Amino acid sequence: MPQSLQKICIVGAGAIGGWIGTKIAATGVHEVSALARGETLAALQQHGWRLNTAAGLVQAPLYKASSDAASLGMQDLVVIAVKSQALPSLAPQIAPLIGKHTLILPAMNGVPWWFYPSLQSVDPSGQIAKALPADQVLGCVVHASTSTSEPGLVQHKMGEKLIVGEPDSSKFLGGQSERSKAVCDLLKQAGFEVTHSTNIRQAIWYKLWGNMTMNPISAITGANVDKVLADPLTRAFISSVMLEAKAIGARIGCPIDESPEDRHAVTSRLGAFKTSMLQDVEAGRSIELDALVTSVKEIGEKVGIATPNIDALLGLTRVFAQVRKLY
C-alpha cells in the first residue's frame, strides 16, 4: 500500500483514459502522466489533458507523456484504459511503471484477465497475468459514455460513475480495504460518482450482462440501442442471450435478480446512444469481442452451461468483424 497516490499514469489516453486523466489532473494534486503513442501522444504533449463537458472545455496540465514506460518511471497508481484485445501484447511493456507498492486499476470493458482462472479468450498466452501482479490489482467498472472527437480531445456525453473494489473482498474486514478506499477517495476528489464495492465481481458481471449484447448487435446492424431494443425479434434474442449469461453468473457466484426486461427498461432510459463497439466499427478500429462475448462462452463451457444463443451472437459478430479486418 503506497503512502500516497501522488504519481499516477494513464495507460491508453483515449475516450475513457482521457476522461479519467483529465479529471484527476484538474485537481492539481497529482502528477498525472500518460503512456500513449502516435497522434494521441503528440496531442497530449502539445495541449495537455483536454475534456469537453456540458459545462465547457476542461484543460489540465500533463506531467509527462511518452510511448516508453521506462521514461515515466514507477507509479503509485496505474490506470489501464486500453481496449481489452490490446492488453496481452501491451502488458509486458507496462512493467517499468509497476513497483512493489503500485496499484493497478483496469478501467476496461468486459471480463478482465483476473476474473476467472486461465481465461484463454482474454489472456491467451498468460502474458497479462505474468506482467501485472494479481495482488496489486483492483477491480473497476465504468458507467459513462465518452468519445474522442480528435486525438487527445475527449467528449463526455453522460455518466460519471466508477465502481471500485477488491477482486477478493473476502480477505478484508467488511469487504473493503484501505488501498481501495484510498483510490475511491482520490476519484471522488476528482469529481467522479464513486461506489466502493464489497463485490466488484458482481458489478462487473452485471454491466457485462447488458453490454455483451448491445455492443455486438449495434456493431452488426449500425443501429443505436433504442432501435435495437425497439425490434421485438432482436429484443427477444437479446433476452435469450441474457438468460444464458444469467445462468452462468449464478454458477460462478455472480447472481442477478433482475429479468432481461428489467434491464431493457434501464437501457431504454438512456436514450438513442451509440455503443463503444459501434464507434470502433465506424472508426475502423478492432473490436473487443473476446472480453465481452467469447469470455462468457468460455466460462459457460468451464461450468457446464450450454450457450447456443451466445454462440450465435459470437459467430455472427466474429464473421462480421473478420470480413472488415476488425477482429
Query: Hey, is 304 helix, strand or coil?
Result: coil
Alpha helix positions (H), 126-199: 127-131, 178-189
Note whether 124 and 291 are within 8 A (CB): no
State the number of CA atoms in the 13 A half-sphere of 265 facing the CB. Answer: 5
Annotation marks residue 207 as catalytic: yes
Q: What angle do CA 106, 112, 113 make, to 5 degrees?
A: 110
Query: Residue 196 region, left (φ>0) first, then alpha (ψ -120 to 50), else beta?
Result: beta
For every residue of 41-86, DSSP letters joined together read HHHHHHH-EEEEETTEEEEE--S-EES-HHHH--EEEEEE-S-GGG
Catalytic residue among 207, 274, 297, 325: 207
First to last CA, the chain: 38
Helices then strands (H, E): number in the chain?
Answer: 14, 10
Note whether 95 and 131 are within 8 A (CB): yes
Q: Which residues are catalytic?
A: 207
